[in-house]
């Protein structure tokens, strides 16, 4: 689908003509789950509990036997070693127990002049998450290496397009048509089987009655709040939910220069507007993107080439001895 009819609008020119209130007002309000987080180091937590318990028991027995026997050459080294290991285990657990947060939203503005009476706008919003955690803990490690070596940061960029119509007789009045985004409804939150070609248009009326967008799964696709409860009971299973509204401080225009620093071309995202309101009904228009699986394809490719095409990996131990090879593979892709 060609999008050559859309032209990107300079943000400064836009606000000189319309101000930025229309961009802020129509930014999608989004609900995110507090249970969206990195894999916790449960083994470190279990080892920590046992070690702390052992230390307390040892100290208690030593105090009870103090009048009879006490050997400082044994007591203090044991406490020192136990304290050091406890500190390392605690540090590892705390740094693994990290929530993934929605931190800000970027946007771009596109325009199409249909005829002398009508023009269309597309506000392309990019909600930005602090990271992404794949359900498969081993693949998640490989994905993190992919981000470190190729993308150079762990930000997860998502996309929601909002379409408008303007009548030239009322140039200040933006008539919202609806939303277009990857619809994650019908996919369990932690399912590895995701479909990124589920872009779907929803008329603007869908957002009435505080029906906000919500993260539908770990890949940060979206669905509507009113669908969460019936969709594998996500509303309750992944509560509590945080509501994000946007203002001039956390809603920022995305520039071409900043895209280059983000290695935009390496990301599985197409920034051009995907629908054509002037062609016909938006509900009947379809969109597929060959780039949408680019990151996961690269991750699966490195696993097949280095570990083996028929090897199923699930845990960190399955990557034992291969991490440096994987890092080197990603570095070679840059050249």
Task: Name the nearest CA neighbour of 241 among 205, 216, 266, 263.
Answer: 216
C-beta separation of 294 from 110 below 8 A: no
pLDDT reading at 258 higher than 70: yes
Q: Among the listed ranges 68-72, 159-163, 180-184, 257-261, which one has the minimum average pLDDT value?
A: 68-72
Instruction: Concatenate the DSSP letters of all residues of 29-43 into one string.
Output: PEEEETT-BPPP-HH
C-beta separation of 96 from 40 below 8 A: yes
Map residue 335 onto helix, strand or coil: coil
Query: Phi/psi of residue 122, each to 5°?
Result: -125, 120
Instruction: Concatenate the DSSP letters of all residues of 250-299 into one string.
Output: TEEEPPHHHHHHTTGGGSS---S----TTTS-GGG-----TTTTHHHHHH
pLDDT at 127: 98
Instruction: Concatenate the DSSP letters of all residues of 193-222 into one string.
Output: ---S--EEEEEGGGGTTT--EEE-STT--E
The tens digit of pLDDT for each residue in 72-120 reads 778 778 888 877 777 776 666 566 678 999 999 999 999 998 888 899 9
pLDDT reading at 3 higher than 50: no
Listed as own residue / partner, the contacts of 290-296 with beta carbons closer than 8 Å and 24 or more positions apart are 292/196, 292/197, 292/268, 293/196, 293/268, 294/266, 294/267, 294/268, 295/143, 295/146, 295/267, 295/268, 296/268
Percent of the chain with pLDDT over 70: 92
On the 0-12 / 13-18 / 19+ scale of CB atoms within 10 A, 330 is buried
pLDDT at 160: 98
C-beta separation of 244 from 27 below 8 A: no
pLDDT at 90: 66
Query: Phi/psi of residue 287, each to 5°?
Result: -150, 130
What is the length of the chain?
335
Average pLDDT score over residue span 123-135: 97
pLDDT at 163: 98
Which contiguous run of DSSP H or E holds residue 122? strand 118-129
Between 125 and 70, the higher pLDDT residue: 125
Distance between CA atoms of 121 and 58, rounded to whole angstroms? 71
């Amino acid at each position: 689908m060609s999008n050559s009819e859309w032209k990107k609008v300079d943000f400064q020119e836009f606000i000189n003509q319309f101000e930025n209130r229309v961009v802020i007002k129509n930014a999608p309000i989004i609900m995110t789950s507090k249970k969206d987080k990195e894999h916790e180091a449960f083994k470190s937590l279990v080892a920590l509990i046992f070690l702390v318990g052992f230390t307390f028991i040892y100290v208690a027995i030593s105090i009870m036997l103090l009048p009879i026997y006490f050997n400082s050459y044994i007591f203090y080294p044991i406490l020192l070693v136990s304290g050091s290991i406890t500190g390392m285990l605690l540090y590892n657990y705390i740094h693994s127990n990290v929530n993934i947060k929605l931190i800000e939203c970027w946007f771009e503005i596109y325009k199409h002049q249909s005829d002398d009476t009508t023009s269309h706008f597309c506000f392309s919003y990019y909600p930005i998450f602090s990271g992404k955690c794949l359900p498969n803990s081993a693949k998640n490690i490989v994905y993190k290496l992919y981000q470190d070596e190729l993308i150079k940061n762990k930000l997860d960029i998502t996309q929601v397009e909002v379409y408008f119509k303007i009548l030239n007789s009322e140039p200040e009045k933006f008539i919202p048509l609806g939303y277009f985004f990857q619809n994650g409804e019908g996919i369990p939150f932690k399912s590895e089987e995701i479909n990124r070609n589920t872009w779907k248009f929803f008329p603007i009326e869908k957002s009435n009655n505080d029906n906000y967008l919500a993260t539908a799964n770990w890949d940060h696709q979206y669905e509507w709040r009113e669908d969460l409860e019936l969709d594998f009971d996500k509303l309750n299973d992944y509560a509590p939910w945080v509501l994000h509204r946007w203002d001039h401080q956390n809603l920022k225009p995305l520039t071409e220069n900043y895209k280059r620093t983000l290695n935009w071309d390496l990301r599985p995202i197409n920034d051009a507007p995907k629908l054509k309101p002037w062609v016909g009904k938006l509900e009947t228009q379809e969109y597929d993107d060959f780039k949408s699986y680019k990151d996961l394809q690269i991750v699966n490719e490195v696993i097949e080439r280095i570990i083996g095409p028929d090897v199923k990996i699930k845990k960190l131990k399955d990557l034992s001895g291969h991490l440096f090879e994987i890092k080197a593979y990603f570095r070679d892709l840059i050249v």
